Amino acid sequence: MTATPDVDLDRRPSGTERAVLRALSDGRQRTVAEVCAELAVPRSSVVHALNRLRARGVVMDHPARGSARGRPARSWSLAAAPGLLAVIVAAAHGAIAGVVRPDGEVLAVVEGAEDSSGPAEALELLDRALAEAEVTPAGIELAVLGLPGPSLFARESGGEPLDGSHLRRFRDWDGRPAAHVVGEHLGCPVFCENDANLAAIGEACHGNAADTDTTLYISLTYGTGAGLVLNGRLHRGGSRLAGEIGHLHVDDGGQLCECGARGCFWQTMSIPALLSELAMVHGRTFTVGDLDAAAISRELEIMRALRGFGRTLGRRVADLVVFLDPQAIVVDSTLGAASHVIADGIREAVDQYTPPTMAASVRVLSGSLGRSAHVLGAAALARTENLLRAGRKVGTGDVSGCAGLNGRAGSPAPGGDVGPGNTANLEAVTGEDLNR
Ligand SMILES: [Zn+2]
């Protein structure tokens, strides 16, 4: 771990600091004047924010280059992050692993089979990603673990009972917290995030929705869920389960769901359910790749099924549009060309069931990042929520500065056993703010 100055992490950034971080989040160097112009914020406020962020090691200044006239201005950027991120997403229907630099340079992305979200398979996938990126665990500074269910569940990893939680099977790997297993495997801290949230942040920062502040991302291939980016902030919600659209109630007489409710959306409408229906009708297996191929070749029957799926999903999404008034609805692009057809169906439903003014203002589009969305989302989180610095602090055995960083009552460090070689689920350092 790189030595870092003793800085005050236990403080939420001010609004100006968040705005400055967002302005610098593309990695380019900017002068104070450029930041002021971009944010329309007084120079004194920007200088104050930059100095505070520099004192915390979040940004750095660069020597002024020579200028023909006048005193040249220093430029500023996010502090260079020395480490790499390992990303492992073990979702309900498959797994992805990758290695990425904090600036968003993806070194490797590998995908597992649909049943590869178990502990052994996930770790094997992680090793494949490391090998492809030609890095060893020693080069990994932080692991980001994407799982279904709530993000940042530090308290659960401390050993509190999980009984009764429908998400336990995703969080416990052979009876142990998944984050601990990954942390021991890599020897670095681990940050847990909801898998759909990771993809949402990836698309909102690096993808087709990068020019919008309010985005509803819909995850389909790896599990039916959603991620909400509201006014540039990742919205995690009170129980950190915001966006679980798979558990929208649709049928009073439906089956009992593992979440404890009855008749949830995902039980009848999901990509795995659609694949099963197609398999039954056509007498052969269907994969997500088949949906992609069918959409490319515009097979009428499959296109109709995909568009109908989109319309049914869109009927629910339309209600969310009325509540949230998002600028963009982004459909999981790991479905390839099929995501465009589903987006067309959602578009039809939104046009049908929302007030015309709202329908006219919201874009419905396919994502653009495919399997890289989660990996890029992890990089964006690390960059904008300052996770790498927090990880180092945890790595030194000091978690006191992380537990309460999101302004909540400080939850105790997981079992007090966090240190090098162990793991931690870090609370959001900058207060659940995407800070794009
Ligand atoms: Zn449910």
| The token pair that represents 38 in the structure block | 């971009």
Whether 192 and 165 map to the same domain: the answer is yes
Whether 322 and 404 map to the same domain: the answer is no
Whether 255 and 396 map to the same domain: the answer is no
Return phi, psi of residue 111, to 5°.
-120, 140
CATH number for the domain spanning 247: value is: 3.30.420.40
SS3 191: strand
In a domain, 221, yes or no: yes
Q: How far is the CA of 138 from the centre of ligand 1 (A)?
A: 40
Domain-terminating residue out of 368, 394, 424: 368
Q: How far is the CA of 356 from the centre of ligand 1 (A)?
A: 31
In a domain, 53, yes or no: no
Q: How far is the CA of 262 from the centre of ligand 1 (A)?
A: 6
State the helix-helix crossing angle for 271-282 and 300-324, rounded to 10 degrees: 160
Q: How far is the CA of 248 from the centre of ligand 1 (A)?
A: 7
Q: How far is the CA of 245 from the centre of ligand 1 (A)?
A: 9
In a domain, 65, yes or no: no
Whether 276 and 315 map to the same domain: the answer is yes
CB 214 within 8 A of CB 436: no
pLDDT at 3: 33
pLDDT at 408: 26
Q: How far is the CA of 170 from the centre of ligand 1 (A)?
A: 15
Q: How far is the CA of 125 from the centre of ligand 1 (A)?
A: 29
For residue 60, is pLDDT > 50?
yes
| Among 316, 310, 318, 331, residue whose Cα is nearest residue 359 | 318
Q: How many CB atoms lie within 10 A of CB 82?
A: 13
In a domain, 432, yes or no: no
Q: How far is the CA of 242 from the centre of ligand 1 (A)?
A: 13
State pLDDT tens for residues 345-359.
Answer: 999 999 999 999 999
Q: How far is the CA of 259 from the centre of ligand 1 (A)?
A: 4
pLDDT at 298: 96
| Among 144, 42, 157, 134, residue whose Cα is nearest residue 85 | 144
Q: How far is the CA of 16 from the centre of ligand 1 (A)?
A: 40
Q: How far is the CA of 428 from the centre of ligand 1 (A)?
A: 27
Q: How far is the CA of 198 from the centre of ligand 1 (A)?
A: 21
pTM equals: 0.72
Whether 276 and 393 map to the same domain: the answer is no
User: Which residue is it, tokens 């800085």?
Assistant: 7
Q: How far is the CA of 261 from the centre of ligand 1 (A)?
A: 5
In a domain, 394, yes or no: yes
Whether 344 and 284 map to the same domain: the answer is yes
Q: How far is the CA of 149 from the centre of ligand 1 (A)?
A: 12
State pLDDT tens for residues 380-410.
Answer: 888 877 787 655 543 322 222 222 222 222 2
pLDDT at 432: 33
Q: How far is the CA of 180 from the centre of ligand 1 (A)?
A: 27
Q: 135 vs 113, which has greater pLDDT? A: 135
Compute the average pLDDT of residues 241-250.
87
Confidence of residue 44 (pLDDT cuts 50, 70, 90): very high
Q: How far is the CA of 220 from the centre of ligand 1 (A)?
A: 15
Q: How far is the CA of 377 from the centre of ligand 1 (A)?
A: 26
pLDDT at 67: 56
Compute the average pLDDT of residues 24-46.
87
Whether 257 and 356 map to the same domain: the answer is yes
Indicate the number of domains in the chain: 2
In a domain, 354, yes or no: yes
Q: How far is the CA of 324 from the centre of ligand 1 (A)?
A: 22
Compute the average pLDDT of residues 125-150.
89
In a domain, 218, yes or no: yes
Q: How far is the CA of 50 from the centre of ligand 1 (A)?
A: 45
Whether 403 and 304 map to the same domain: the answer is no
Q: How far is the CA of 405 from the centre of ligand 1 (A)?
A: 31
User: Which residue is it, tokens 């990994």?
Assistant: 140
Whether 282 and 402 map to the same domain: the answer is no
Q: How far is the CA of 264 from the centre of ligand 1 (A)?
A: 5
Q: How far is the CA of 148 from the centre of ligand 1 (A)?
A: 13
Whether 247 and 125 map to the same domain: the answer is no
Q: How far is the CA of 114 from the centre of ligand 1 (A)?
A: 21
Q: How far is the CA of 267 from the centre of ligand 1 (A)?
A: 8
In a domain, 251, yes or no: yes
Q: How far is the CA of 260 from the centre of ligand 1 (A)?
A: 6
What is the arrangement of strands in the sheet containing 59-62, beginning at the earlier edge strand? Answer: 30-31, 75-78, 59-62
Whether 241 and 164 map to the same domain: the answer is no
CB 333 within 8 A of CB 367: yes
Whether 350 and 387 map to the same domain: the answer is no
Q: How far is the CA of 166 from the centre of ligand 1 (A)?
A: 9
Mean pLDDT taken over the chain: 79
Q: How far is the CA of 76 from the centre of ligand 1 (A)?
A: 47
pLDDT at 74: 86
Domain-terminating residue out of 344, 368, 392: 368
Question: How many secondary structure helices (H) and strands (E) does the chain include?
Answer: 17, 15
**Domain span at residue 319?**
208-368
For residue 171, is pLDDT > 80?
no
Q: How far is the CA of 266 from the centre of ligand 1 (A)?
A: 7
Cα→Cα distances 135→102, 156, 420, 421, Å: 15, 31, 19, 17
Q: How far is the CA of 173 from the centre of ligand 1 (A)?
A: 22
pLDDT at 411: 29
